[in-house]
Amino acid sequence: MSLTIRLLVACFCLTLAGCETTRHDVAASVREKFTGPTYVRRSYAADTRTVFESARASVERLGFRITRAGVAQGVIEGVSRLASDDDLRGSRQHTVKIQLVATLDGGTEVAVLFTEVIEANSDRGVGQGIESPLRNHPLYESFFVGLSQLPAR
């Protein structure tokens, strides 16, 4: 077997043997292509209106501007400030989508999804951003800390 083929096989094996986090992220990414992004969910033993107000305040404390909210619809959506790269050609922004659902026992389930929108080069056309869900990001825990005064189930 030639040295080139051995090196290619070794590189291929190393690529497949990546760390556990990488394998999990690839599997989650493929699954999300078919089922949609995965929301982080937690349940609270409080009514929907109370959880809604707390969630809205938590999102605003994180620096998000609310773009859509309705307690009757159980929806809160927001965007963060726009951040530019060093040469001012690209930008990045976070979005948040929150769904609130009343449970049968009078509590509320909160489902949260943070995404990142990256526009790598505005020379190619404005609004050509790529949106991808954030997994295992500190924003989730920061958001839920804002709901910490509610008793979690």
How many domains is the chain partitioned into structurally? 2
Report yes or no: 89 and 129 within 8 Å, Cβ to Cβ: no
* Pair (67, 126) in one structural domain: yes
* Pair (124, 82) in one structural domain: yes
Region of residue 136 (phi > 0: left; psi between -120 and 50: alpha; otherwise: beta)? left
pTM (2 decimals)?
0.71
Question: Is residue 6 domain-resident?
Answer: yes
Question: Is residue 136 domain-resident?
Answer: yes
Per-residue pLDDT tens digits for 119-148: 876 555 556 678 889 888 999 999 999 887
Using alpha carbons, list the distances in angstroms from residue 98 to 38, 83, 112. 12, 22, 5
In terms of residue numbers, what domain contains 13?
Answer: 1-36
Per-residue pLDDT tens digits for 72-110: 999 999 999 988 766 666 788 999 999 999 999 999 999
Question: Is residue 86 domain-resident?
Answer: yes
